[in-house]
Amino acid sequence: MKKIGIIGGTSPESTLYYYKKYIEISREKFEPYFFPELIIYSINFRDFKDNPDGWEGRKRILINAAKALEKAGAEVIGISANTPHIVFPEIKKEVTAEMVSIIDAVAGEAKRRNLKRLLLLGTKTTMTMPFYKNALEEKGFEVIVPREEEIEEINRIIFEELMFENFRSKGWLIELIERYAKSENIEGVILGCTELPLAIKREDVSVEVLDSAEIHMRALIDAAL
Q: What is the pLDDT of residues 85-136, one digit of tens each?
A: 999 999 999 999 999 999 999 999 999 999 999 999 999 999 999 999 999 9
The pLDDT of residue 11: 84
CA distance 79 to 17: 13
CA distance 46 to 151: 22
Is the Cα dihedral 79, 154, 195, 102 positive or negative?
negative
- Given strand 208-211, what is the order of strands in its sheet? 142-144, 117-121, 188-191, 208-211
CA nearest neighbour of 221 among 58, 22, 27: 22
The pLDDT of residue 110: 98
What pTM does this model have?
0.93
CA nearest neighbour of 87 among 47, 68, 112, 60: 60
CA nearest neighbour of 213 among 52, 157, 199, 154: 199
The predicted-structure confidence for 153-182, as pLDDT tens digits, reads as follows 999 999 999 999 899 999 999 999 999 999
Burial bucket for residue 98 (CB in 10 Å: 0-12, 13-18, 19+): middle
Contact 14, 81 (CB under 8 A): yes
